[in-house]
Chains A and B, each alone.
Chain A
Amino acid sequence: MISFRLDGRSVVPPYLQIVQQVRQALRMGVLEVGDKLPTVREVVAATAINPNTVLKAYRDLEREGLVEPRAGHGTFVLRRPAGPPPGTHSRLARSLGRWVRGAREAGLDDESIESLLRVTLQAAAAEEIA
């Protein structure tokens, strides 16, 4: 079972934060096919958010075909989102972690690292188009 973290300062609306956290948990292998998502009441009791927000998030996930509600039992994971297998993410996370430590040692602060990442992503996107 996973628990949700809602960031009130985020510009991402709460329902989308839940959707993203479920997708992320599926990619990382924290959630697997057949696992049950927390019930609306469990999420609401833990986070004090509007129950309709949770319902909206679960409906979005259902429309994507990732989860399925079973009457009287709850909402269950149907499949993982398209993309590489779970191990890929954790392997890339580890090598990125090493890269970040290297960047810090070289004197880059978080803001510089973020802008470097953004510029690199943009350059890669431009390459793909070309």
Chain B
Amino acid sequence: MTADQGATRPVIQTRGLSKRYRKVTALREATITVPEGRISALIGPNGAGKTTLLRLLAGLAWPSGGDVAVLGSTPRQDPAFLAGIGFLAQEIPLYRRLSAEDHIGAGARLNPRWDAASVRQRLKSLDIPPDQAVGTLSGGQRAQVALALTLAKRPRLLLLDEPVAALDPLARRHFLATLADAVAAGGLTVLLSSHLVADLERICDHLILLAASRVQLCGDIDTVLAEHQVLVGPRKDTTALERTHTLVQAVRTARQITLLIRLNGPVTDPAWETADVGLEELVLGYLGQGAPPALTHLTTVGED
């Protein structure tokens, strides 16, 4: 399943991809690569450009600049391209008065490679009634119905926009287990956006970090984590360090300084205590860039 990943063409590849809406730039020169078989996490604060990127990849929006290739072709709204793509938007696209079985029938008429048996089997294993109006199901069950229907297209790429944000922890776990199982069956690549880093850390092996409309990081999570380190030391000048490494974030107190750095070789100065970085720490470090100092922020909150 994972062998030869280096040899096959990436499922998603963009270069300098940009999107402007009138005066607002939603995505600026995004260059990303997602190899086949990955479950990639698209992480970033609200307004960072996550939905814009997903819509560009799904052919629901046109780029203002740059190149984009998904499954080897340019995303567009035509049946040949869309047959390979599953897209699940933030608002779950189901007809509340219709049952899961009604949706299965409609899907069969619209999709050439429709796998109705897989939906019925997934819903059965999750104890979801197939003949009940989906509006009467729980939020978690509705999300599972939508995911099962999307997988019935047998897509090669699944794009999910905040699929679990509204679900409780147990429903979230079940949803992600269904997703991981679909990937384990082979031939599927997933890109999902979410705020919930703890969930993503379990299921994702690839990361795209967006902030302020730009791609900050893109790569396999193990590799990206290994390229970063936390340094703690007595407060001192970081100029020498910054000649070799990239300083991502610095937290200074009167006596101590804590740095998140992107490594360019080993850290040799024994004055620094080094530690490995977790995904959450890494994400917060990058998102903290350019944020207002904590005290200013707190003062503003207190004045409300």
Which A residues form the contact surface with B (CB < 8 A)?
6, 8, 11, 13-14, 40-41, 44-53, 55
Contact = CB atoms under 8 A, between A and B. Distances in A.
B167 interface: no
Contact of B204 (A8, A13, A46, A50): A50
Contact of A55 (B2, B173, B201): B2
Contacts of B278: 11
Interface stretch (B54-62, B144-152, B174-182, B295-303): B174-182
B183 A51 contact: yes
Contact of B202 (A45, A50, A52): A50
A45 B177 CA distance: 5
A45 B181 contact: yes
B184 A47 contact: no
Contacts of A14: 202
Contacts of A13: 222
Given A8-B202, A46-B177, A48-B180, 15 more contacts: A8-B201, A11-B276, A11-B278, A41-B181, A44-B177, A45-B180, A47-B202, A48-B179, A48-B202, A50-B180, A50-B183, A50-B205, A51-B183, A52-B37, A52-B205
B180 A49 contact: yes
Interface residues on B, range: 20 to 34
Contact of B180 (A8, A11, A51, A55): A51
Contacts of B38: 52
A44 B202 CA distance: 10
B80 interface: no
A57 to B, nearest CB: 13
Interface in B146-200: 173-174, 176-177, 179-181, 183-185, 198
B203 interface: yes
Nearest to A53: B205
Contacts of B211: none
Contacts of A44: 177, 180-181, 183-184
Contacts of A6: 202
A51 B186 CA distance: 10
Contacts of B276: 11
Contacts of A46: 177
A127 to B, nearest CB: 27
